[in-house]
Structure 1
Amino acid sequence: LSLTNYFEGNYLFFSLFYDSIFLQIIFTWNKS
């Protein structure tokens, strides 16, 4: 496993992870 592939995989995972958290924060903030 090369370092670039590892970094790109982590970037994809974390971007999806933070996008879901960001959407949850927006939804809860709009409800209140």
Structure 2
Amino acid sequence: MKEVNRVIDCDVLVIGGGLAGCLAAISARETLG
């Protein structure tokens, strides 16, 4: 079970990082015009 939880945590980090990168790119685009 611990291995499964570790994989899920990894997926959550990857997905969260992708969303954060997307938001950062959008805000940077708006700032730069």
Q: The TM-score by the shorter chain falls in which range?
A: 0.7 to 0.9
Identity %, equivalent residues = 0
Q: C-alpha deviations, 1:6-31, integer Å up to 9, x for none?
A: 11000011111111011000000011
Q: Which consecutive aligned stretches of 4+ in structure 1 deviate over 6 angstroms post-superposition?
A: none
Q: For residue 12 of structure 1, what is the aligned residue in structure 2?
A: 11
Q: How many Å apart are 1:3 and its aligned residue? A: 2.1
TM-score by length of 2: 0.74
Instruction: Identify unmatched segments of 5+ residues in structure 2.
Output: none
Instruction: Identify unmatched segments of 5+ residues in structure 1.
Output: none
Q: How many residues align?
A: 31
- Please give the root-mean-square deviation of Cα atoms over the aligned residues, in Å: 0.9
